[in-house]
Amino acid sequence: MDFPLLTCYHSVAGNLKKLRPATLDGYQRAINRDLEAWKHKPLKDISGAMAVTRHAELCKSASPTVAMRAMQVLRATHRFATEFYGTDDAELPFGRCPVDKINKIQRKWSQSKPRTGRLAVDELAPWLTAVRNLPSHQKRSDGDWKRVAAYLELILLTGLRRREAGFLRWEDVDLRRSTFTVRATKNGDDHTLPISARVRELFELRREAGKALQEIAQRHPTERNIKAALNHKTTGDVTGLHYAQVTTEDLLSTLPRPSRSEG
């Protein structure tokens, strides 16, 4: 078959509706930017040697992470197209996946190191001061910088991902029960978190700034609390299987708790 890479990719994208828009954007970026020279090349003509060479080029010109993601997109496209277009008479219509060659030549190419950058303890106070002073140091007075300041501090205090914090809705904030719920998180589950005294203040500041909220932009029990607070999956490990489930009330007990009469 002479279907080009781009056609095969569109077959993949059209059948992966459950993927997040941001994920699809990343796939599209890999095709249009990192694999641009191959977009109109028949998928069967993309060889393992070409994949190895392009991976090395991207590692050097961009980063190992960019290279890894580009090859993952190529692999996903090739595998899906093989299943989609393959028949009993032609099980491998596009030949072997070119990314398999990278697996043989370079081990762990598809593993990226987690980011470890963080604010040190002695950096927290200056950072918070700078963030809280953002509104008073900007010329615009339409509330935008108040929203930005509240958004940044909310991420720090709750551990939310940027998108999760940016798309919170007021209907998911329950000040009476001192909880808020994040919808459609990265692991696919809704996640309810407690509202501490300072987080309550941030929500109130955010409300005062105007517009809809979504427009802003030790082990065992202790470990389980940490995993629950960070919204990590726990069902597949021993901590999750053999210890009691953590509720929002359990998490609330670890935070400075506002009066329930507020809100």
CA distance to 7, 93, 216, per residue, from 89 (Å)? 22, 9, 54
Q: What is the DSSP letter of 114?
A: P
Within a domain: residue 20? yes
Within a domain: residue 258? no
Residue 220 has phi, psi (to 5 degrees) of 55, -115
The reply to whether 46 and 143 lie within a common domain is no
The reply to whether 61 and 125 lie within a common domain is no
- 68 and 109 in contact (C-beta within 8 Å)? yes
Write out the H or E segment, with its range, that includes residue 239: helix 238-242
The reply to whether 95 and 194 lie within a common domain is no
The answer to whether residue 221 scores a pLDDT higher than 60 is: no
Within a domain: residue 263? no
Higher pLDDT pick, 23 / 99: 99
pLDDT for the residue 143: 57
The reply to whether 64 and 134 lie within a common domain is no
In three-state secondary structure terms, 146 is helix
What is the number of structural domains in the chain?
2
Within a domain: residue 178? yes
Within a domain: residue 31? yes
The reply to whether 60 and 134 lie within a common domain is no
In three-state secondary structure terms, 166 is helix
The reply to whether 83 and 130 lie within a common domain is no
- 27 and 13 in contact (C-beta within 8 Å)? yes
Indicate whether this model's pTM tops 0.85. no
What is the Cα–Cα distance from 171 to 132, expressed in whole angstroms? 26
Within a domain: residue 88? yes
The reply to whether 160 and 94 lie within a common domain is no
The reply to whether 182 and 88 lie within a common domain is no
Q: Which of 58, 76, 105 is the last residue of a domain?
A: 105
Higher pLDDT pick, 253 / 238: 253
Name the least confident of 12-21, 162-171, 185-194: 12-21
The reply to whether 76 and 156 lie within a common domain is no
Name the least confident of 1-15, 135-149, 194-208: 135-149
Within a domain: residue 183? yes
Q: How many helices (H) and strands (E) does the chain have?
A: 12, 3
Within a domain: residue 116? no
Reported confidence tier of residue 58, pLDDT bands at 50, 70, 90: very high
pLDDT for the residue 112: 61
**Which domain, by its residues, includes 9?**
5-105
